[in-house]
Amino acid sequence: MEEQTITNQRLENEMELIERAKTDDQAFEILYNFYFPKIYGYLFKRVGNRQVTEDLTSIAFMKVFCNLGKYKHQGYTFGAWIYRIATNNLIDYYRKSGRRQEVDIEQVGEIESNNPSPGEVIQNAEESMFIKFVLKKLPERYSKVLHLKFFAEMSNQEIAQTLKISSNNAGVLIYRALKNFQKIYKKYEK
């Protein structure tokens, strides 16, 4: 398999690679290996369950693979296209599951000697739960844009393409979402 250069968290010659991936499994594998951790992380932060995340990520990449021949660069990046597919899968999952909360037993692991103290682990877990609580209190649009910005680590341009809005609008939306997050955080802070 050939080596592909990653520059600034992007694949070099990505458009050429996408065209090749339509008929070449090795080219698709490069795209898959590059985008899989990003999509998995984005979905895991939204779902919080390893098995569900694996299922949603697999479904997303199956759809990418099946529809790759139809993909055309139309003013949005390939990454934004994949995030849109993953987001639509997530929306379908929540509709079907009724937004019930599941906890992944595998997340609870043994504490090794080089890990933080039990008190620190509890404090970090509480902070993480509190952040998730605050994110759920936000309007869906604000929650979504903050997940894309901080968990999926997307640029404003990629967020704009994913949400089909302008880059300026994405920046304003992120700013408003952060202000709203801060207000709710302070309201419920202990």
CATH number for 158: 1.10.10.10
Quote the crossing angle between the two packed helices 118-137 and 167-188, to the nearest 10°: 120
End of a domain among 99, 133, 160?
A: 99
Q: 58 falls in which pLDDT band (50, 70, 90)?
A: confident
Please enumerate in sequence order all residues whose Cβ is within 8 A of that of 160, keeping only pairs 6 or more positions apart, or say none: 166, 167, 169, 170
Q: Per the domain annotation, does 114 fall within a domain?
A: no
Residue 59's alpha-carbon distances to 3, 45, 52, in angstroms, are: 26, 17, 11
pLDDT band at 8 (very low <50, low <70, confident <90, very high): very low
55 — pLDDT class (breaks 50, 70, 90): confident
3-state SS string over 2-16? CCCCEECCEECCHHH
pTM > 0.85: no
Among 22-36, 50-64, 117-131, the minimum mean pLDDT is found in: 117-131
Collapsed DSSP state (helix, strand, coil) of residue 85:
helix
What is the pLDDT at residue 80? Answer: 87
Residues 54 and 88 in one domain: yes
pLDDT at 7: 44
pLDDT at 117: 61
Q: How far apart are CA 17 and CA 125, in angstroms?
A: 40
Among 84, 68, 76, smallest CA distance to 25 is for 68
With respect to residue 112, please indicate whether it lies within any of the assigned structural domains: no
Residue 106 included in any domain: no
pLDDT digits (tens, 9 = 90+) for 72-125: 877 778 888 899 899 988 888 888 876 555 555 555 554 444 555 666 667 666
Q: Clarify whether residues 67 and 159 are in a common domain.
A: no
Decide if 107 is inside a domain: no
pLDDT of residue 24: 84
Residue type, 4: Q
Domains held by the chain: number? 2
| Of residues 144, 135, 28, the one with CA closest to residue 84 | 144
Q: Which of 68, 99, 130 is the last residue of a domain?
A: 99
Residue 88 in any domain: the answer is yes
**Residue span of the structural domain in which 130 resides:** 119-190
How far is residue 43's CA from residue 75's CA, in Å, rounded to a whole number? 24
Same domain for 80 and 34: yes
23 - beta bridge partners?
none
Would you tell me how many other CB atoms lie within 10 Å of the CB of residue 74?
7
Q: Is residue 132 part of a domain?
A: yes
- The reported pLDDT for the residue numbered 37 is 92
Answer yes or no: do 128 and 187 share one domain. Answer: yes
Domain termination residue (choose one: 99, 133, 159): 99
Kindly provide the b/e burial profile for residues 103-126, where b requires at least 16 CB atoms within 10 angstroms of the residue's own CB: eeeeeeeeeeeeeeeeeeeeeeee
Q: Quote the pLDDT of residue 123.
A: 65
